[in-house]
């Protein structure tokens, strides 16, 4: 299959050998699960259980609210011990409403929705409903509710479902293992998603540093003409949605548009597996595969983890960690720093990394020497050095003009910077500030227009009153004036 070049990008130390040959193991059920009501982009779910309730495995604990949201389910049977605020797995470390579930050890299933015997004769709408009810979100880390993304077929004429098995982040091997060990499930899930999207073709893109995954997936896809497996070059950030689309199809998604605008929808391989389980067995999303890795971890592993498991328990299961410089949720390039080890694994947690000082290579920033590496390696064609200079001087509008909002925060510039300048940190700050300023401006404009409308209404009323008074006065002075002439 013909591939297309993508611009920029880097080749970091992948360190995938730490876990790539470690088969997925199942974590023993922890003593308590902490299930946040918000594990996805969009509105948080609202609780459907009371404290003290006994729940079964797969039972809904929180209902999705609004158009963009997702429900959460009980990963096992047990008792709800509390519904309270717990530190969120987010760098802010802010508390979020969380359901505490004490497993009873029986792991008894609730009554599940009926498996769909032949999803390909089912209406796309019904598949989307099942995916929505199963609480499936983008498991590559973006956590956008999958059902909403599967609805794109309604508005766009789609040609390709691009299944993202690039896994370009260093250390992470969870997708690699899922593709090797559950290849048939992933291919089936992908075909079901393509049906839901009304997309005739499925392309599964895998970076060529995962030859076993390519082999397994090619074998699983062999029976289906509509499914192609393609090895893509090892080049970070190959797994970025728009870049992968360009590499595989040559189509460049215009700024501020979706890949769907060029006929492509991208889903992650782990999401495909979750869809397979939901549609074929009626099982909601209750667990995910997490790579626990990093030089500080005693025994790095790929683990199937019940959602809600505290990170500390995962690390303990891997023999603990020593000499840790940093804990990261996700990959080292785009992952988030962990605010605490008490936070739970959620739907978007692809990895838990404990990195040593030698791995983070953190050092103090030095002055920019304008070497231009950030420009050369930016996969989005931006000029990070200039954007950072504008942001440092609080010229956010200037930074926006040269494209800071087109930055995907992949971190290539920060990685390559010889002066160790935290460029992405600047851009994340600017994007947040610009969005906030935008909201504020819209709000001000809205208020202004409301005030203007209010004033206009008052003026109209006053005018009406004056006219009425004038008419009354005229009538008083000349009682005949108001009468219609015969």
Partner 1 sequence: MSIVVDKSGPFTHGSNNVQRTMFTVLAALVPATLFNLWLFGWPAIFLFLVTMAACLGCEALCTRIAGGSVDDMLSDGSVMITGWLLALSLPPWAPWWVAVVASVFAVCLAKHAFGGLGQNVFNPAMIGRVVVLVSFPVQMTTFVPAKPLFSADAPGFAESLHVTFGRAVSLDNISAASRMGFIKTELSKGVPVSHSLPDYLLSHHSSASDMLMGFHPGSMGETALPLILLGGLFLLWRKIISWHVPVAMLGTLFILGTVFNAIDPARHADGMYHLLSGASFLGAFFIATDYVTSPVSKSGQLVFGAGVGLLTWIIRTYAGYPEGVAFAILLMNALTPILDQHFRPRVFGRTRKGAPLPLKGDK
Is 336 one of the binding residues for partner 1 (CB under 8 A)?
Answer: yes
Q: Please, which residues have CB within 8 angstroms of residue 365's CB and are 6 or more apart in sequence? A: 419, 420, 421, 422
In whole angstroms, how close is the CB of 325 to partner 1 at the nearest point? 8
Is 219 one of the binding residues for partner 1 (CB under 8 A)?
Answer: no
Contact map string, positions 19 to 48, toward partner 1, x by CB under 8 A? ------------------------------
In whole angstroms, how close is the CB of 107 to partner 1 at the nearest point? 32
Judged by CB under 8 A, the chain residues 65 through 94 that form the site for partner 1 are 91, 93
The 8-class DSSP code of residue 484 comes to P
Which pairs count as long-range contacts for 148-155, CB under 8 Å and 24+ apart, including other chains? Answer: 148/42, 148/67, 148/68, 149/265, 149/267, 150/124, 150/193, 150/196, 150/197, 150/265, 152/197, 152/258, 152/260, 152/265, 153/124, 153/196, 153/197, 153/198, 153/199, 153/265, 155/260
In whole angstroms, how close is the CB of 291 to partner 1 at the nearest point? 15
Phi, psi of 232 (to 5 degrees): -110, 155
Q: Strands of 106-256 (E only): list them.
A: 160-165, 201-207, 227-232
Which of 10, 162, 275, 303 is close enough to bind partner 1 by CB under 8 A? Answer: 10
DSSP letter string over 160-197?
EEEEEE---SSS--HHHHHHHHSHHHHHHHHHHHHHHH
Angle at 71 between CA 69 and CA 73, to 5 degrees: 160
Is 209 one of the binding residues for partner 1 (CB under 8 A)?
Answer: no
Which of 261, 280, 281, 434 is close enough to bind partner 1 by CB under 8 A? Answer: 261
Q: Tokens 């260093």 belong to which residue?
A: 170
Select from 45-53, 113-121, 122-130, 356-364 the region that touches partner 1 (CB under 8 A).
Answer: 356-364
Within 10 angstroms of residue 420's Cβ, the number of other Cβ atoms is 13
| Contact (CB, 8 A) for 233 and 252 | no
In whole angstroms, how close is the CB of 391 to partner 1 at the nearest point? 13
The 8-class DSSP code of residue 266 comes to E
In whole angstroms, how close is the CB of 162 to partner 1 at the nearest point? 17
Which of 55, 158, 199, 355 is close enough to bind partner 1 by CB under 8 A? Answer: 355
| Contact (CB, 8 A) for 133 and 71 | yes
Of the pair 280, 357, the CB lying nearest partner 1 is at 357
Is 428 one of the binding residues for partner 1 (CB under 8 A)?
Answer: yes
Q: How many residues interact with partner 1 (rule CB under 8 A)?
A: 72
Is 250 one of the binding residues for partner 1 (CB under 8 A)?
Answer: no
Is 392 one of the binding residues for partner 1 (CB under 8 A)?
Answer: no
Phi, psi of 37 (to 5 degrees): -80, -15
Question: Which pair of tokens denotes residue 271?
Answer: 């999401």
In whole angstroms, how close is the CB of 316 to partner 1 at the nearest point? 13
Question: Which pair of tokens denotes residue 294?
Answer: 């990093």
Select from 106-114, 142-150, 421-429, 461-469 the region that touches partner 1 (CB under 8 A).
Answer: 421-429
Is 376 one of the binding residues for partner 1 (CB under 8 A)?
Answer: yes
Of the pair 103, 295, the CB lying nearest partner 1 is at 295
Contact map string, positions 126 to 165, toward partner 1, x by CB under 8 A? ----------------------------------------
In whole angstroms, how close is the CB of 334 to partner 1 at the nearest point? 6
Of the pair 101, 385, the CB lying nearest partner 1 is at 385
| Contact (CB, 8 A) for 151 and 258 | no
Select from 56-64, 133-141, 405-413, 453-461 the region that touches partner 1 (CB under 8 A).
Answer: 405-413
Is 406 one of the binding residues for partner 1 (CB under 8 A)?
Answer: yes
Is 255 one of the binding residues for partner 1 (CB under 8 A)?
Answer: yes
Of the pair 341, 396, the CB lying nearest partner 1 is at 341
Biggest distance spanned by C-alpha atoms of the chain? 106
Residue 241's H or E segment, with its range, is helix 241-249
Contact map string, positions 162 to 191, toward partner 1, x by CB under 8 A? --------x---------------------
Distance CA 132, CA 389 (A): 44
Which of 4, 54, 94, 257 is close enough to bind partner 1 by CB under 8 A? Answer: 257
In whole angstroms, how close is the CB of 212 to partner 1 at the nearest point? 25
Select from 20-28, 62-70, 119-127, 395-403 the region that touches partner 1 (CB under 8 A).
Answer: 395-403
Of the pair 113, 403, the CB lying nearest partner 1 is at 403
Is 436 one of the binding residues for partner 1 (CB under 8 A)?
Answer: no
Distance CA 482, CA 279 (A): 77
The 8-class DSSP code of residue 453 comes to H
């Amino acid at each position: 299959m013909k591939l297309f070049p993508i611009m920029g990008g880097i080749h970091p130390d992948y360190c995938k050998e730490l876990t790539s040959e470690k088969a997925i193991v199942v974590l023993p059920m922890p003593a308590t699960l902490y299930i946040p009501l918000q594990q996805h982009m969009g509105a948080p779910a609202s609780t459907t259980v009371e404290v003290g309730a006994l729940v079964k495995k797969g039972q809904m604990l929180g209902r999705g609210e609004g158009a963009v949201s997702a429900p959460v389910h009980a990963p096992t049977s047990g008792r709800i011990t509390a519904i309270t605020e717990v530190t969120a797995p987010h760098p802010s470390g802010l508390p979020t409403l969380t359901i505490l579930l004490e497993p009873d050890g029986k792991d008894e299933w609730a009554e599940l929705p009926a498996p769909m015997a032949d999803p390909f004769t089912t209406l796309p709408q019904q598949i989307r409903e099942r995916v929505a009810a199963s609480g499936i979100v983008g498991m590559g880390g973006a956590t956008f509710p999958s059902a909403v993304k599967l609805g794109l077929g309604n508005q766009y004429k789609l040609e390709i479902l691009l299944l993202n098995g690039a896994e370009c982040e260093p250390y992470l091997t969870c997708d690699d293992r899922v593709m090797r060990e559950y290849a048939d499930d992933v291919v089936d899930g992908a075909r079901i998603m393509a049906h839901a999207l009304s997309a005739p073709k499925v392309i599964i893109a895998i970076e060529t540093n995962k030859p076993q995954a390519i082999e397994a997936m090619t074998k699983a896809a062999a029976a289906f003409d509509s499914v192609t497996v393609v090895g893509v070059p090892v080049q970070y950030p190959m797994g970025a949605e728009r870049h992968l689309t360009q590499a595989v199809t040559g189509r460049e998604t215009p700024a501020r548009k979706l890949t769907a605008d060029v006929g492509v929808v991208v889903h992650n391989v782990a999401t495909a597996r979750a869809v397979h389980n939901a549609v074929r067995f009626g099982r909601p999303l209750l667990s995910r595969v997490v790579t626990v890795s990093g030089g500080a971890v005693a025994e790095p592993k790929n683990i199937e983890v019940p959602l809600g498991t505290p990170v500390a328990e995962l690390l303990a299961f891997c023999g603990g960690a020593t000499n840790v410089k940093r804990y990261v949720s996700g990959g080292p390039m785009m992952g988030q720093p962990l605010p605490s080890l008490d936070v739970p694994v959620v739907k978007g947690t692809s990895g838990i990394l404990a990195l040593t000082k030698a791995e983070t290579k953190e050092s103090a920033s030095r002055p920019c020497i304008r070497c231009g590496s950030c420009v050369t390696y930016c996969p989005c064609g931006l000029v990070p050095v200039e954007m950072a200079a504008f942001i440092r001087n609080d010229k956010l509008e200037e930074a926006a003009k040269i494209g800071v909002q087109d930055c995907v925060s992949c971190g290539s510039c920060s990685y390559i910077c010889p002066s160790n300048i935290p460029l992405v940190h600047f851009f994340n700050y600017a994007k947040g500030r610009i969005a906030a300023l935008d909201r504020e401006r819209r709000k001000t404009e809205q208020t202004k227009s409301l005030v203007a409308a209010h004033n206009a209404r008052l003026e109209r009323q006053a005018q009406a009153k004056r006219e009425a008074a004038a008419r009354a006065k005229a009538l008083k002075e000349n009682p005949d004036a108001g009468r219609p002439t015969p």
